[in-house]
């Protein structure tokens, strides 16, 4: 599967990320079962932490792909409006994540 940047340019295949997300989905379902089974709180919290870490790893990969392709294409385009828009999007996302 090739993803298309908003600008219309294609970038990397995300099939590996989909596999990671499916594993995260399984982890989250496992946490729900642990809660249903009234498992020990520390075990549940450990699994939640693992799922969060896995999701953060996916987030980093998507962010890297965005910077490597979408942002890089905007910078290479020579269009100052497109460059500013991509940088503003990226900065806004990073500021939002930092809250």
Residue-wise pLDDT tens digits, 30-70: 999 999 999 999 999 999 999 999 999 999 999 899 889 98
For the chain, which domains are there?
A: 2-97 (1.20.58.1000)
Whether pLDDT at 12 is above 80: no
- This prediction's pTM: 0.75
The Cα-based distances of 15 to 6, 19, 50, 81 in angstroms read: 19, 6, 21, 32
Cα separation, 48 vs 28, whole angstroms: 7
* Cβ count within 10 A of residue 17: 18
Backbone angles phi, psi at 3, to 5 degrees: -90, 150
Q: Are 66 and 4 in contact (CB under 8 A)?
A: no
What tokens does 94 get? 């990073």
């Amino acid at each position: 599967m090739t993803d298309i940047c908003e600008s219309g340019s294609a970038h990397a295949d995300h099939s590996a990320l989909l596999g990671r997300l499916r594993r995260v989905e399984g982890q989250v379902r496992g946490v729900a079962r642990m809660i249903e089974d009234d498992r020990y709180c520390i075990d549940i919290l450990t699994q939640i932490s693992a799922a969060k870490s896995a999701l953060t790893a996916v987030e980093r990969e998507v962010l890297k792909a965005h910077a490597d392709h979408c942002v890089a294409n905007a910078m290479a385009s020579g269009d100052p409006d497109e460059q500013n828009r991509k940088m503003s999007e990226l900065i806004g996302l990073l500021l939002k994540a930092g809250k």
